[in-house]
Amino acid sequence: PLSLVKKPLLSQIDVSLSAIENRIQKSEEKARCDALTGLFNRSILDEQINHFINSGLRNNSTFCLVFIDFDFFKNINDQHGHLIGDSVLQLFSSILLREKRNDDCAFRFGGDEFCVLINGDHKTAGQVFANRIKNSLKNIYPSVNIPPSLLSISIGLADFPYCALDR
């Protein structure tokens, strides 16, 4: 009789532990990712910059930090509403994820600011990526019905180790 009770009880415990593990995993993902865009957040950027620097020093390799800022993004929210602004950020984030390579990392840095860490220097990998982003930005206009003048971005590039040797 005791063995008959044990099996269902162990099964229930196993199901409960699986549910707890699933909740922990989802909580960890939420802590690492921006809720709106699904990109890594700024705290993960800090970790990844350290990883890229250490790897660069160890392997004598370069990487490029690509910083992207929407120009006048406040005007999008003011003129078209925050839901449209959120849509623009989500669409732009999907462009970053599509255009980056597998070993590159994309982050939401702040409200309308994004950052991508790219293996290679700005002349090879960084500028190619920046041009792909600028060209892909044109695909957002029809989706959100916003004039191109409001969807302007500024892109800055910095190379490791040429621009800096630390964060």
pLDDT per residue as tens digits for the range 73-125: 999 999 999 999 999 999 999 999 999 999 999 999 999 999 999 998 878 89
Rounded to 5°, the CA angle 62-68-71 comes to 155
> Quick one: pLDDT band at residue 165, thresholds 50, 70, 90?
confident
| pLDDT, tens only, 3-30 | 555 666 667 777 777 766 766 666 556 5
> Quick one: pLDDT band at residue 139, thresholds 50, 70, 90?
confident
Sheet holding 113-119, edge to edge: 105-108, 113-119, 63-71, 152-160
According to the model, what pLDDT value does residue 5 have? 58
| Cβ atoms of 62 and 162 closer than 8 Å | yes
Bridge partners for 119 per DSSP: 63
Beta-strand relationship, 105-108 and 113-119: antiparallel
Mean pLDDT of the chain: 87
User: What is residue 6's DSSP assignment?
Assistant: H
Mean predicted confidence (pLDDT) in 23-45: 81
Q: What is the DSSP string of 58-90?
A: HHT--EEEEEEEEETHHHHHHHH-HHHHHHHHH
> Residue 152, SS3?
strand
User: Which active-site residues does the annotation give?
Assistant: 112
Q: How distant, in Å, are the alpha carbons of 5, 12, 24, 42 from that of 17? A: 19, 9, 10, 31
| Cβ atoms of 45 and 109 closer than 8 Å | yes
| Cβ atoms of 116 and 104 closer than 8 Å | yes
pLDDT surpassing 80 at residue 129: yes
